[in-house]
Amino acid sequence: MELNEALAKLAELQKKLYAYSTADAALYLDGTTVAPKDTAEGRGVALGVLAGERHKLFSAPEVGELLDFLWGQKEALDQLHSRQVEELRRSYAQLTRIPADEYMEYAVLVNEADDVWHRAKERGDFELFRPVLEKLVAFNIKFAGYYDPSKAPYDALLNEYERGVDMKYLDEFFATLRERIVPLLHAIGEKEQPDDSFLRRHYPIEAQRKFSDYLMEILGLDRTHCAIGETEHPYTLNFNNKDVRITTHYHEDDVGNSMYSVIHEGGHAKYELGIRDEVQYTCLAGGVSMGVHESQSRFYENLIGRSLPFIQAIFPKMKEFFPEQLADVTAGQFYRAVNKVQPSLIRTEADELTYCLHIMVRYEVEKQLMVGTLAVKDVPETWNRLYKEYLGVDVPDDKRGCLQDSHWSGGAFGYFPSYALGSAYGAQMLKNMERDMDVWGPVSRGDLSGVSEWLKEKVHQYGGLLEPADVVKNACGQFDPTVFADYLEQKYTELYGL
Ligand code: ZN
């Protein structure tokens, strides 16, 4: 085979894979936004066929031969192609190592688990979910061995979401954070809380929709390439770097909820839209890892969106959207309200400071499940004990406890730590950004273009062209979680007058 011919085959293969994932995503988008309620069955049939065809296409022996041939010519490949071959070889090895029957059995299990989890959560009935969770844990331990038999199962799973990260790394990372966050939390507990009751006045959905449009404009999201929809749980979906969708969920009695969802998902969208054309329709299109993705969404949500200069910049406009609701509120009061620290039960509603503690609980539980020191039946007890220990709250039921998140029912073990890592990466990016340019002058005027340009240059443009660790290094330098701890300490010391 000629090199050029092989490269043409490589491009063709990736374009086909792109077509499958586009069809998949379009059906998902439809199902979660505008599709009528009882229409899931037909989409399920189509999705099943697509998954089977995609599997057949990618696991074919010719693909293995093509990738081996190209790997043998590595010296002759440019960075773009050698990274593609490297990534595809990794996925191919993984996929072909999992026996086809186990792969299908697992797909059926995950599908069933979603339904069982929904029902169990609604009733707060962990026992209902327990047998499914037991199977999911067993499968993931087994699959971890296929992913990387040289690693401990949980390390192999962590590596799937953030390559290069393992338990040793995370134990240290979380210990550093806990040491700094817990005393801060205690000190805040002694202080008077700001009034945030105005956030829960009546905010009509129609006005909130207009506010979302305004926020997207401030974020610099080009509406000819990025649309917003409404779903039960907000998410970002990327077709390619010219077509990204975000969603939100409006609550009439909570203006901050959708506001920060839009800014968070907007940060994910900025990343996807900022990826260079060169990697489109290849396996390198799309954000490089969950941790780096979260660093971008959380950067916009917390570091920018919950900063005083940003709130001061948008507050006059907010008052136009919500004249009665915010008539007696100042930008300063709003800033304090959306940064109120309160240990709570639900991760997705947590404030910036206690958020990492929620992640630590999940990390501990997952780790023990995968190491084998915790039985599934004891998850609720351990969960509740850790919430008491880390956050000082009593968990009244499993609905607001270990059943609250959908990750495990979706088979995602090892995902949670990327949220906390993302926050820490972001804080370090901000520090470097402040060294390079005036961040807050323009932000206080509602101009986020400099911030966006910096992130695009250091992070977004590469997509998967660089390894996650290299993207982090590019934007953060040597990773140092104490930078995040310093940021939190400074912010909340000022806010609460500690
Ligand atoms: Zn996110």
Give the tens place of pLDDT for each residue, 308-363. Answer: 999 999 999 999 999 999 999 999 999 999 999 999 999 999 999 999 999 999 99
pLDDT at 8: 98
Instruction: Report the relative pairing of strands 236-240 and 243-248 from DSSP bridges.
Output: antiparallel
User: Is residue 231 over pLDDT 90?
Assistant: yes
Report the chain's mean pLDDT, rounded to a whole number. 96
Provide the pLDDT confidence category of residue 198 given band limits of 50, 70 and 90. very high
pLDDT at 376: 98
pLDDT at 277: 98
pLDDT at 479: 93
Cα 298 to middle of ligand 1, angstroms: 7
Rounding to the nearest 10 degrees, give the CA dihedral for residues 399, 400, 406, 408.
-90
Q: Which helix (H) or strand (E) holds 393?
A: none
Candidates 432, 440, 413, 416; CA nearest to 474 is 432
User: Is residue 469 over pLDDT 90?
Assistant: yes
Token pair recorded at residue 128 = 């209902």
Cα 301 to middle of ligand 1, angstroms: 10
Cβ(95)–Cβ(58) under 8 Å? Answer: yes
Q: How far is CA 38 from CA 24, 34, 293, in A?
A: 19, 12, 33
What percent of the chain clears pLDDT 90, i.e. is strictly above it?
91
Provide the pLDDT confidence category of residue 417 given band limits of 50, 70 and 90. very high
| pTM > 0.85: yes or no | yes
- Specify the CATH architecture of the domain 167-496: Orthogonal Bundle (1.10)
Rounded-to-integer distance, Cα 426 and Cα 294, Å: 8
- Burial of residue 196 (number of CB atoms within 10 Å: 0-12, 13-18, 19+): middle
Cβ(255)–Cβ(325) under 8 Å? Answer: yes
Give the tens place of pLDDT for each residue, 81-101. Answer: 999 999 999 999 988 898 888
User: Is residue 256 over pLDDT 90?
Assistant: yes
pLDDT at 467: 94
Cα 220 to middle of ligand 1, angstroms: 18
Catalytic-labelled residue, pool 265, 352, 364, 366? 265
pLDDT at 40: 84
User: Is residue 181 over pLDDT 90?
Assistant: yes
Structural domain boundaries in the chain: 3-150, 167-496
Cα 435 to middle of ligand 1, angstroms: 26
Cα 190 to middle of ligand 1, angstroms: 32
In sequence order, the 6+-apart residues with CB closer than 8 A to the CB of 109 are 132, 135, 136, 139, 411
Cα 171 to middle of ligand 1, angstroms: 22
Cα 293 to middle of ligand 1, angstroms: 7
User: Is residue 104 over pLDDT 90?
Assistant: no
Cα 5 to middle of ligand 1, angstroms: 40
Which residue do the tokens 């390894």 mark? 467
- Collapsing DSSP states into helix, strand and coil, what is residue 215? helix
Cα 68 to middle of ligand 1, angstroms: 35
Cα 267 to middle of ligand 1, angstroms: 8
Average pLDDT over residues 130-155: 96
How crowded is residue 202: how many other Cβ atoms within 10 Å of its Cβ?
A: 10
Distance linking the first and last C-alpha atoms of the chain: 69
Average pLDDT over residues 57-76: 96
How crowded is residue 8: how many other Cβ atoms within 10 Å of its Cβ?
A: 11
Cα 268 to middle of ligand 1, angstroms: 7
Cα 107 to middle of ligand 1, angstroms: 24
CA atoms lying within 13 Å on the CB side of residue 96: 16
pLDDT at 335: 98
pLDDT at 261: 97
Provide the pLDDT confidence category of residue 51 given band limits of 50, 70 and 90. confident
* Residue 192 DSSP label: P
Tell me if residue 324 is catalytic: no
Q: Quick one: CA dihedral 60, 463, 477, 266, positive or negative?
A: negative
Cβ(144)–Cβ(156) under 8 Å? Answer: yes
Rounded-to-integer distance, Cα 349 and Cα 201, Å: 17
